[in-house]
Structure 1
Amino acid sequence: MPTIDTILFDLDGTLINTNDLIIESFLQTLEHFRPGEYNREKVIEFIGPPLADSFRSVDPDRVDEMITHYREFNHRMHDELVTEYVGVYATIERLYKQGYKLAIVTTKIRKTAMMGLQLMKLDQFFDIVIGLDDVEHAKPHPEPLEKALEQLGSEKKSAIMVGDSHSDILSGKNLGIPTVAVAWSIKGIDKVRSFGADYIIDEMADLLPIVGADHT
């Protein structure tokens, strides 16, 4: 593999544990609009794609209403329900100090993404955050990744994509760069294996040797 100097990260479920927040936001919203129709298992399938895509499958005529409701609950409960993944902060700090160029590529809007980064004190390591409102086409389209590389001044031949969902891995494949899937995805390891990523890591520190970072 060519030398890697640029690492593109998904945010939710990859760097920060927003699973409970997202699930509760979906459950609360769907119970309001479609009482009794959705449970935890069903809404886990909504994690990853943009909100509009998920809610369009529920009721295409009320997508905007549902997004507004979801975001109000999500922002209000954000700091209470978001937690950290062990080892993420230390690994990202190490990559940053070793000079790797780092970016966030998320299907969240930028405002919400920054809330999570700031809460976990990861914002200091990421000058580039590409949110849903920064692009015309969300992941798995390669546009968000291309925009991140452009803003970082990087080439795709030296980049790698890290994420927890199929859309993360597919976006990397669509761009033609190596991909890393995280085994701690809420969707489960069997689902993660089905994504076809080039690498699967059990903890964030496992990324260090993959990109050639000093991990001693």
Structure 2
Amino acid sequence: MPQFTHILFDLDGTLTNPRLGIGNSLKYALRQMQIDGYSDEILERFVGPPLQDNFKNLFGMNERNTNLAVEHFRTYFGEKGLFENEPYQGISELLEELHLSGKRVYVVTSKLEKYAKMIMRHFEFDRYLDDLQGAEATGKHSGKGQLIEQLMERNRIPASASVVMVGDTHYDLIGAKENEISCIAVGYGFGTAESLSNCNPDFTVDSVEELAELLLG
């Protein structure tokens, strides 16, 4: 069994299920932008990548409208959406066990950093964390590889197979490989099985229970 010393978790789709809050925030933003006629399937694609990229790529918005849509999204999300969220069953216990066993535990997310910290406090996960890295409000340096790099540099974590990124999308896996660390794909989140397997993760799990077995040995 691998012995991981530093464990980096993605947030959305890995620690918590944000489907309701992100969906409601997206619908609010699109109403404000007077956009309708989109499919519910679009919601799934808003979990993981930076907001700016999705509004540009999925709705063809220019930079000005992208910034407006992001502001509207964050207005709803900051007031209600971030709490319309639910931890996956067993995650709280896993984080506590990792912390008590002496593992170093981190969160690396493309979500705005201040919201990520609020969510961690809301679910009382912050007590188990050594550090958290989220995205800037501008959307700059928000690629998962860049975010992982920032957290590793700040905490002086050298690249090693004993450092692992745990995530549900190919963004997490690619970011891990860019930083020469191990990666675990979780199959219970928002990424497709095909997109995850195409990234050749070091390990794949389909439940929090399997993840706990792998991380705790």
In structure 2, C-alpha distance between the alignment counterparts of 1:21 and 1:170, rounded to whole Å: 26
Q: Map of 1:6-25 to 2, 5 A cutoff?
A: 6-25=6-25
Match of 1:52 in 2: 52
1:204 and 2:212 aligned: no
TM-score when scaled to structure 1?
Answer: 0.88
Gaps of 5+ in 1: none
Q: CA deviation at 1:62?
A: 0.8
Structure 1 residues 79, 47: closer, same or farther in 2, change over 3 A?
A: closer
Structure 1 residues 102, 44: closer, same or farther in 2, change over 3 A?
A: same
In structure 2, C-alpha distance between the alignment counterparts of 1:28 and 1:38, rounded to whole Å: 13
In structure 1, C-alpha distance between the alignment counterparts of 2:82 and 2:163, rounded to whole Å: 32
Q: CA deviation at 1:86?
A: 0.2
Match of 1:86 in 2: 89
Match of 1:160 in 2: 164
Conserved 8 A contact 1:102-1:125: yes
1:98 and 2:72 aligned: no
Gaps of 5+ in 2: none
What amino acid is the match of 1:64? N
Q: CA deviation at 1:34?
A: 4.2
In structure 1, C-alpha distance between the alignment counterparts of 2:42 and 2:82, rounded to whole Å: 24
Deviation per CA, 1:77-127: give whole Å up to 9, x if none.
Answer: 236511121010101110011111111111111110012111211011113
In structure 2, C-alpha distance between the alignment counterparts of 1:109 and 1:46, rounded to whole Å: 14
Which range moved further: 180-189 or 94-103? 180-189
Between Structure 1 and Structure 2, how many residues are aligned? 212
What amino acid is the match of 2:38? Y
**For 2:174, what is the secondary structure of its paired residue?**
helix
In structure 1, C-alpha distance between the alignment counterparts of 2:191 and 2:32, rounded to whole Å: 25
Match of 1:32 in 2: 32
Deviation per CA, 1:145-183: give whole Å up to 9, x if none.
Answer: 122223333222120000111111110111121111111
Which range moved further: 55-64 or 14-23? 55-64
Deviation per CA, 1:32-69: give whole Å up to 9, x if none.
Answer: 31432322102311221111111223211311111110
1:74 and 2:77 aligned: yes
Q: Map of 1:136-175 to 2, 5 A cutoff?
A: 136-140=140-144, 142-157=145-160, 158-175=162-179
Conserved 8 A contact 1:162-1:179: yes
In structure 2, C-alpha distance between the alignment counterparts of 1:15 and 1:191, rounded to whole Å: 19
Deviation per CA, 1:116-140: give whole Å up to 9, x if none.
Answer: 1112110111131111129952234
Match of 2:129 in 1: 126
Conserved 8 A contact 2:112-2:135: yes
Q: CA deviation at 1:195?
A: 4.1
In structure 2, C-alpha distance between the alignment counterparts of 1:136 and 1:101, rounded to whole Å: 27
In structure 1, C-alpha distance between the alignment counterparts of 2:201 and 2:30, rounded to whole Å: 32
The percent identity for this pair of structures is 27
Which range moved further: 98-107 or 196-205? 196-205
1:111 and 2:114 aligned: yes
